[in-house]
Amino acid sequence: MTNNKYVLDWINEMAAMTQPDKIVWIDGTEAQAEELRAEACSTGEISKLNQELLPGCYLHRTAINDVARVEDRTFICTSKKEDAGNINNWMDPSECYAKLSKLYAGSMKGRTMYVIPYSMGIVGSDFAKYGIELTDSIYVVLNMLIMTRVGTNVLEALGDDAGFIKGLHARADIDEANRYICHFPEDNTIWSVNSGYGGNVLLGKKCFALRIASYLGRKEGWMAEHMLILGIEAPNGDVKYICAAFPSACGKTNLAMLIPPEFYKSKGYKVWCVGDDISWLRIGSDGRLWAVNPENGFFGVAPGTNVKSNPNALATTMKNTIFTNVVENLDNNTVWWEGLDKNPPKNARNWKGEVWDCTDGSKGAHPNSRFTAMATNCPCLSDKFNDPAGVPISAIVFGGRRAKTAPLVYQSTSWQNGTFVGSIMASETTAAAAGAVGVVRRDPMAMRPFVGYDMGDYFKHWLDMGKKIPNAPKIFHVNWFRTDDEGHFIWPGFGDNMRVLMWILARCEGAVDARETAIGYVPYVKDIEIAGLDIDEKTIEGLLQVDTALWKEDIPGIRAFYEQVGDRVPAELYEELNALEARLNG
Ligand code: GTP
Ligand code: SPV
Ligand code: MN
């Protein structure tokens, strides 16, 4: 398929180590994909769902010990430890190669090694970057075919160049104790072993498009961020684009595909999805920041997705979709998950494959169960999705799950202050990563698990970029997750989040005033549209309240986090922190 010497030599070397029986090149054709689906069905790796109700859809179950990203087993292997920084796990590259080589050795005996040439971004475009993933999992191949642009045209675009990201994945024994997700940014290399779960093994996604790409972006003067991209079209046809960074399972896919509330819909407003997880951002010749979504599909959280919360996501998954770790409805060979509807199937298997009694109180789908669906299935996909230039960004929005401290929305006072706002983000942990759920932790820019270098340098890169963007987006922070005393979410969320986005866009256009507070600009209650909502102005006032006492309590935690990040935290951010503290005390 290619004469590229770098590609061929590397594949030979990896094959000598892993010793597959066969090597199969993935060409991106439907015929080959169909053969692979049939083979994976015959071995039980996937099963075919009801083809009348869910055409082209399949179900997969991962191993029970392998259901989420494993941050404590994820390593950045730079030659100098300080370049990986204090927030990342680090291993010496040669030590890591040696250690993992032992795990890979002979691991593909009796198996097939698939060679997946893929592109992040539109093949042949200026912003595209290419990768090749070697894997012994058909499930990975089928997911990569949806999530990235795969095929011989990638090899043609690469030509004789050495500039591709080398990804090696082997399932091995799915042994947790020997599971490693390792990145070698200096070598353009990713090695993943002993997992079969999405974020650990679809190497184009978090490993390449965030960890490796963030490293490249810093070197090359652009940014790789954990951000959705959406467009809001006004009745006059004008579209404004917003990027938003929320930690895993905190609402990116939902916001990216939101359906406008009737109040806006009836006026002719529309919302378009450009991406739901990752943005690559560059400065355009017009001095604005432009974003592309390097992915080609959605690897979305299933639980909670329903006709009310996210009808667009649901529609996206009605064909050609792979469901992972959801409930299997044995009556009609379809799928179900918590929050889909109020009728859990009576005759079903849970995500572990066990006969499941929906009345026994146990969850049928894993909280991090997922769908893998093609972007082109999405009813609200932006017509700019395949535009190599991407879209110009008016606003950057940070957000997380905070039960109390953060108000519904506030605006930073400058790019530097906005960088500070991103750097102090905190959120309750979710099921997207292994470990405790619901614990508040600092997750700067929603990138804590995804920055491929030192976090202090990453903050510096944000500040540096701001100085280079003549017409920079305004930076905001939102929180959909404030709770009342009974622990219920106060804000309705989902489609109604558009009401907040409209305030954000109005601020970008200078069309609305705001209240100055210690943390930044907060809306006047009257400027959050509540027509058609079951909420009164008093509630909005509560949601917008900045609780000085809580913010003061937060300051030591921020300081401790900065200290943990270490001595590369830019002085400007300490200035911002000190100024915030002074305002809170003043
Ligand atoms: P990753 O794919 O892990 O990066 O997650 P994500 O950020 O795309 O999160 P997603 O949109 O899939 O939402 C995760 C969970 O948050 C789902 O259970 C949603 O139902 C819930 N959620 C999303 N938006 C809202 C919201 O506005 N309000 C509330 N209360 N819950 C929300
Ligand atoms: C996330 O965890 O942020 C995801 C899913 O988008 S994963 O592919 O596992 O990273
Ligand atoms: Mn994500």
pLDDT digits (tens, 9 = 90+) for 140-156: 999 999 999 999 999 99
Q: Return the pLDDT at 59.
A: 99
The DSSP string of 68-111 is SB-GGGEEE--SSHHHHTTTSEE--HHHHHHHHHHHHTTTTTTS
Q: How far is CA 423 from CA 445, 455, 458, in A?
A: 6, 9, 10
Residue 243 in any domain: the answer is yes
Q: Return the pLDDT at 203.
A: 98
Both 26 and 149 in one domain: the answer is yes
Confidence of residue 561 (pLDDT cuts 50, 70, 90): very high
> Pick from 349, 375, 401: which residue ends a domain?
375
Q: How far is CA 228 from CA 125, 188, 232, 246, in A?
A: 21, 25, 13, 8
- Of the residues 250, 316, 428, 497, which should be mutated to test ligand 1's pocket, given the most ligand atoms within 8 Å of the CB? 250
Average of per-residue pLDDT across 109-114:
98
Tell me the residue ranges of DSSP E strands in 108-211: 112-120, 129-135, 149-150, 165-170, 180-184, 189-193
pLDDT digits (tens, 9 = 90+) for 434-473: 999 999 999 999 999 999 999 999 999 999 999 999 999 9
Number of domains in the chain: 3
Residue 63 in any domain: the answer is no
pLDDT digits (tens, 9 = 90+) for 9-26: 999 999 999 999 999 999
Both 173 and 252 in one domain: the answer is no
Q: Active-site residue numbers?
A: 250
CA of 247 to the centre of ligand 3 (A): 7
Ligand nearest to the CA of 206: 2
Residue 68 in any domain: the answer is no
pLDDT digits (tens, 9 = 90+) for 379-410: 999 999 999 999 999 999 999 999 999 999 99
- Location of structure tokens 């500039």: 163
> Pick from 220, 255, 284: which residue ends a domain?
220
Relative to the CA of 301, which ligand 2 atom is closest? Answer: 5
Both 259 and 143 in one domain: the answer is no
pLDDT digits (tens, 9 = 90+) for 177-211: 999 999 999 999 999 999 999 999 999 999 999 99
Residue 200 in any domain: the answer is yes
Q: Return the pLDDT at 328.
A: 98
Both 496 and 534 in one domain: the answer is yes
CATH number at residue 178: 3.40.449.10
Both 289 and 327 in one domain: the answer is no
Both 102 and 234 in one domain: the answer is no
Average of per-residue pLDDT across 116-134:
97
CATH number at residue 325: 2.170.8.10
Residue with the smallest CA separation from ligand 1 atom 13 is 251
**Residue 545 lies in domain:** 225-293+385-585
Residue 174 in any domain: the answer is yes
Both 470 and 323 in one domain: the answer is no
Both 350 and 428 in one domain: the answer is no
Dist. CA 59–CA 53, nearest whole Å = 14
Residue with the smallest CA separation from ligand 2 atom 4 is 248
pLDDT digits (tens, 9 = 90+) for 42-96: 999 999 999 999 999 999 999 999 999 999 999 999 999 999 999 999 999 999 9
CATH number at residue 252: 3.90.228.20
Q: Return the pLDDT at 254.
A: 97
Instruction: Find out whether the beta carbon of 501 lies less than 6 Å from any atom of ligand 1.
Output: no
- Of the residues 69, 144, 179, 372, which should be mutated to test ligand 2's pocket, given the most ligand atoms within 8 Å of the CB? 69
Both 108 and 158 in one domain: the answer is yes
Residue with the smallest CA separation from ligand 1 atom 17 is 304
Both 276 and 324 in one domain: the answer is no
Residue 64 in any domain: the answer is no
Mean pLDDT of all residues in the chain?
98
Confidence of residue 270 (pLDDT cuts 50, 70, 90): very high
- Of the residues 254, 278, 295, which should be mutated to test ligand 1's pocket, given the most ligand atoms within 8 Å of the CB? 254
Relative to the CA of 277, which ligand 2 atom is closest? Answer: 6
Q: Return the pLDDT at 174.
A: 98
> Pick from 155, 185, 220: which residue ends a domain?
220
Instruction: Find out whether the beta carbon of 260 lies less than 6 Å from any atom of ligand 2.
Output: no
Both 504 and 426 in one domain: the answer is yes
Both 368 and 480 in one domain: the answer is no
Q: Return the pLDDT at 166.
A: 98
Tell me the residue ranges of DSSP E strands in 296-390: 297-301, 322-324, 327-329, 334-336, 348-349, 355-356, 370-374
Residue with the smallest CA separation from ligand 1 atom 32 is 251
